Amino acid sequence: MEGVHLVRRVLTAATAALTLTTAGTMLTSAPGLAAPTAWGRPTVTLAPQPGAPGLGDSYFPDYGNGGYDVSHYDVRLRYDPATDLLTGTTTILATATEDLSRFNLDFLLDVESVRVNGWAATTSTAGAHELVVTPTRTVTRGQQLTIVVRYAGIPSETLVGGYTGWTRTDDGALAVNEPESAWWWFPSNDHPLDKATFDISVSVPTGVEVISNGVQPRPPLAEAGNRTRWSWRTTSPTATYLAFMAIGQYDIVTDTTPSGQPVVNAYSTSLGELGPAARASIERTAEIVDWESGIFGPYPFEAQGGVAGPVDGIGFALETQTRPVYGPGFWRRGANTYVVAHENAHQWFGDSVSVAEWRNIWLNEGFASYAEWLWSEEQGEGTAQEVFDFTYASYPADSEFWQVLPGDPGADRVFDNAVYDRGAMTLHQLRLAVGDDAFFEILPAWTAEHRYGNGTIAQFQALAERISGLDLDELFTTWLFTAGRPDVATAARRAATPPVEPKSWAKIREAHDLLSH
């Protein structure tokens, strides 16, 4: 994705402040009970502990929770566009990974009740977005958990640090954001380290459409009170921020790819004169996914598509799994297939292979941006080398751009331009260093080895070194982890004659201006 700078800064600051509170709470909890044994020698018998309020992410320490692993979310909602009132029940299937006296979920709406394996639990809130669940009976390691949370709220008015990740529109809403999105519509273990499958069903007034991930296990079903329930299902592991809903007035176009995959595209009826450009871009999804499959390896998911959001919706695009959502800005100057190539490249880089920690964001954005350069080459609108030269030259050596490290940009610069542009430049330098044969072997090897899992930059470097047989430490250190503009022999040679602007540049620039910040 790219595009929500200011609010992200505010949210990061608020979250960081509240993390201290959560950590302080942890320190005061009892570490365990010492009990004498039959031999009279004290031994430590660990009592069930509170689950950690976070998964230790270095940028977002309280995102996700410790002590359990979710396998499935059943999210059953009722939504009314007129009031933005969201009510629902989410049933979470999980396995305890520790003995737990209590555990946390990440959630912001008002909770009516929580049951754990049928028994009522008590709840409280903590930190910026923690729902603390204390079950009646302690949970033992390895236990299967069925956690049922009933709740209600108005997501657009539920703020954390002055911010909501939920977008209310004239005719509905978009639950589309990164990394914070789930808090406003379903309780979760909100970190890419804990992926799960989803059943998402939403009751809305008849005449309103609901689009979400995956496939429709059944057609929309009429309900009492002139309402309709829409159902969607994902059967591949999905990170919580990649689940989404688009609710409103949409034209839905369904099809099947030559390879037999269901395609669901949806276009907000509010797009007006932007509508044809949106269709001329998103209707090429199957073609672009097929082309990307030839470079990145087999497409990892069960469906494809895209959603063109409304004119009063989001100002960016997001690689929501199986079906990216695009803001209207991409269509203002005609079709833009570069953003389609970018968001669908994320299906491999970001969605199937997710960051192990948010500091590894280059593994998402660097690769999705380089996919645009490869698409430029494929379309005859400028080679990747030409796009590299022009991008490199477009940032003067003293630009602040070169001070941001794509390999460790900082929590408030996760979506900085440098992560995208210098990130793509890094991959081009890798390609030049190892040669095309090794480079195009590394990409599918990476998506195969970490399919449906997580990865780190160090693991990617190790894979690239293994396949190429080269020591790449200097290249990765220079391009991802060192401030300042790296010297590039080819660009230096051309310094006297500025590189020519590739035909693809305006579209790539347009996409990145909306995607990064």
Tell me which residue has tokens 């009722």.
78
Residue 369 Cβ, how far from Zn ion at the closest point, in Å? 7
Is 335 in a helix, a strand, or coil?
A: coil
- Report which of 351, 309, 304 is spatially closest to residue 330, judged by C-alpha positions: 309
Nearer CB in complex with Zn ion: 52/368: 368
Find all residues with CB under 8 Å of 146, minimum gap 6, and list them: 91, 92, 93, 115, 116, 117, 118
Q: Supply the minimum distance, in Å, between the C-beta of residue 374 and Zn ion.
A: 15
Binding site for Zn ion (CB under 5 A): 1, 365, 368
Whole-number Å distance between alpha carbons of 413 and 477: 19
Instruction: Provide, rounded to whole angstroms, the least separation between the CB of residue 107 and Zn ion.
Output: 26
Give the residue nearest to Zn ion (CB).
368
The nearer residue to Zn ion, 66 or 179, going by C-beta atoms, is 179
Are 116 and 133 contacting, i.e. CB atoms less than 8 angstroms apart?
yes
Beta carbons of 190 and 183 less than 8 angstroms apart: yes
Q: Smallest distance, Å, CB 406 to Zn ion?
A: 13
In the complex, the smallest distance separating the C-beta of residue 177 from Zn ion, rounded to whole angstroms, is 13
Q: Which is nearer to Zn ion, 163 or 367 (CB)?
A: 367
In the structure, how many helices (H) and strands (E) does the chain have?
12, 24
Nearer to Zn ion, 243 or 368 (CB): 368
Please, what is the angle between helix 362-378 and helix 457-468, to 10°? 50
Q: Which is nearer to Zn ion, 65 or 321 (CB)?
A: 321
Our CB check for Zn ion shows the closer of 208 and 368 to be 368
Contact 95/69 with Cβ under 8 angstroms? yes
Kindly state the smallest distance separating residue 324's Cβ from Zn ion, in Å.
Answer: 9
The residue (of 190 and 365) whose beta carbon lies closer to Zn ion is 365
Smallest gap, in angstroms, from Cβ of residue 10 to Zn ion? Answer: 21
Nearer to Zn ion, 1 or 175 (CB): 1
Note every long-range contact of 312-316, with CB atoms under 8 Å and residues 24 or more positions apart, other chains counting.
Answer: 312/169, 312/170, 312/270, 313/167, 313/169, 313/174, 313/268, 314/3, 314/167, 314/174, 314/176, 314/177, 315/3, 315/4, 315/514, 316/1, 316/2, 316/3, 316/4, 316/514, 316/515
Residue with token string 């793509």:
424
Shortest reach from residue 349's CB to Zn ion, in Å: 9
Q: Shortest CA distance to 272 belongs to which of 298, 251, 253, 293? A: 251
Rounded Cα gap, residues 33 and 356, in angstroms: 33
**Angle in degrees, CA 312, 314, 315, rounded to 5:** 105
State which residue, 185 or 367, has the beta carbon closest to Zn ion: 367
In 7-99, which ranges are E strands? 33-36, 42-45, 49-50, 68-80, 85-96
In the bound complex, what is the minimum distance in angstroms from residue 357's beta carbon to Zn ion?
17
* Amino acid of residue 387: V
